[in-house]
Homo-oligomer: A and B are copies of this chain.
């Protein structure tokens, strides 16, 4: 990031929406690009209350940058673009951020547990520094899931076993009223499913559903 900043004249924006899940509650957290703000005038770092603070429905976040850059931004922002109630709520949760640190730590612990469980079932799980996990079925499991999905009408498209396995997982979860994010048709993430971590209780149900599918497909 610093290499980019040092070599361009244009403004550079970093979106740190999920930084709290990487340990970045503190402004001086070493892993955050916030630390570059004192050095570069062309830099804006964005944070949001939509993720770790759970305020997505309030539509509130903030950007930090040099005085000159923010002054220019201020000229193009609509007046009153964040409503008073959202600002008030953000102020309150920020004052109580220690409560959210605990919740975030719980989500991180759940993420590691869930990642391990999915790996054991035969999925490839990407490293995550957020509150979600991305995974695809490894070849052996993909063959079984895609076959099962086709026979059960869960995977109706053409494609590789990986892609059809992902669609089988997605549809199986939807039928249980669990909505994952469907990346199965994405070229770079073919067959990919993204799951947001819930409460420990919700995660038990979630993992139970995926296990049930793998068993039915003959994968366990």
On A, residues with C-beta under 8 Å from B are: 57-60, 80-81, 83-86, 89
Contact = CB atoms under 8 A, between A and B. Distances in A.
Contacts of A57: 83-85
Contacts of A86: 83, 85
Main secondary structure, interface of A, reads helix
Contact of A84 (B58, B80, B81, B84): B58
A137 to B, nearest CB: 31
A84 B60 CA distance: 12
Contact of A80 (B59, B80, B81): B59
A6 to B, nearest CB: 32
Nearest to A57: B84
A85 B86 CA distance: 8
Contacts of A59: 80-81, 83
Contact of A85 (B80, B81, B85): B85
A145 B216 CA distance: 89
